[in-house]
Amino acid sequence: MTTVDDGVGARGGPHGAVAPGERGATRITDRVVAKIAAQAARERLGDQSKGTASPHATVVVHHGTVRVRLHLELDYPCDIGARCADVRRHVASRVRALVGMEVPEVAVHVERLHLTPAHGAVKGRTR
């Protein structure tokens, strides 16, 4: 008796692969999405002065959409509105690309501004 290999495995796919209808689903937890959003904010902010806290994100995931709330600190002086808009766009783009969900809202909360040494920040104690 001769056996013919037609390239289809016992599970219906080529060489034993699972057929698309039988595959499971991947679920990305809110915590992971929040970490991705915070990392994207760090990427956009780049090098800031020492003592500036890293961005922190919280998210709400609902039916394939993500709403992001970012808490961050900025060096000052800067164009705060433009800087926040840039971070907002970058975070939405990166989360969409990496997680595959729509991001209709990225709320940016600036918690603190840090005066940069080049613009009059005084080191040490003044009298």
- pLDDT tens over the chain, length 127 residues: 555 555 555 455 556 688 877 877 788 899 999 999 999 999 999 888 787 889 999 999 999 999 999 999 999 999 999 999 999 999 999 999 999 999 999 999 999 999 887 655 455 544 4
Domain parsing of the chain, residue ranges: 26-119
Peptide bond into 77 cis (omega under 30): yes
**Per-residue model confidence (pLDDT) at position 54:** 92
Cut 0.75: pTM above it: no
Name the amino acid, one letter, at 26.
T
The fold of the 26-119 domain, in CATH, is GMP Synthetase; Chain A, domain 3 (3.30.300)
